[in-house]
Each structure stands twice: as C-alpha cells, then as structure tokens.
Amino acid sequence: MGQSDSRLRITNSDGVAQVRFIDRNILDEANIQQIGDEITQVIEASPAPKILISFENVDHLSSAALGTLITINNKVRNKGGQLRLSNIDPQIYEVFVITKLHKLFEIHPTAEEALGSFRK
C-alpha cells in the first residue's frame, strides 16, 4: 500500500496524531477496512497513542464506518491512549445520537477544542 493510496491525511503535532479523511463519503467497505488498517498502524506505533479524528468535509458515513471507529476506540483504550472526534457535520452527529455512540466517544465541535482536551 503506497502513500498515494491512503484514504487519510495524518499529521502529528504536540504528540497528537491528527487524522483527516480524503473522501467525503465513508461508505465503501474496502475503503473503511483500509481506514481501519491505517489508523491501527498509528495506534501500534505509539505506547499510549493520542489520536484526533476530524470529520471536516465528511458528508456521509455508514454503520460499517461507525463499527470501525468503535474498534479503533477499543484499541486506543487497550493501550491506555486517548481518542477524540471533532468537526462532525450536524446530520452525521445525529447518527451518533441515534445510535447513542455520542456517549461512547469524546466529541468536540472543533479540532482546536479537541486538541486542548488531551491529558498530558
């Protein structure tokens, strides 16, 4: 898998891996699998990963994508890390509310607020 095939843009600042999506729609099963694999690599590369996933520009996501986020959350927690979500479009946030996943994830309106919420 070459860098050019990545479905994500990942930047690091202040010990936090900031993940953004290239696709507006996170629906395709193969893409979702790849996104899960790429974020898992980030989790495995750090002893206590701090990860911010920003959903700016994301218009649609499926329950399979939610499933991958849950798996990522479990992996981060198992390593004693921290996961934050941010910039979720109101229509997509409603999907989190309907599924009650807004209770499982720590969600912030903006990336700045999410970055400020990480414990040292």
Partner 1 sequence: MSEASGQPGAGSPGAEHGRSRLRNTREEIEAAENQALEAAARMGYPAASVFALRLALEEAMTNAFRHGHESLPDEPIDLEWSIGPARAEFTIEDRGPGFKPETVPDPTLDENLERPSGRGIMLMRAYMTDVRFNTRGNRVTMVYDRAAEDAKRRAAAD
Site residues for partner 1 per CB under 8 A: 27-30, 60, 62-64, 66-68, 70-71, 73-74, 91, 95, 98-101, 103-104
Distances in Å between the Cα of 9 and the Cα atoms of 18, 39, 59, 101 are 8, 11, 17, 24
Q: Radius of gyration over alpha carbons of the chain, in Å?
A: 13
Q: Give least dist CB 39 to partner 1, A.
A: 14
Q: Give least dist CB 100 to partner 1, A.
A: 4
Task: Specify the residue, 72 or 111, whose C-beta has the smaller distance to partner 1.
Answer: 72
Task: Specify the residue, 52 or 72, whose C-beta has the smaller distance to partner 1.
Answer: 72
Task: Specify the residue, 39 or 111, whose C-beta has the smaller distance to partner 1.
Answer: 39
Name the CA dihedral angle for 72, 32, 63, 39, rounded to a multiple of 10 degrees: 10
Strands 50-54 and 16-21: parallel
Q: Give least dist CB 111 to partner 1, A.
A: 24
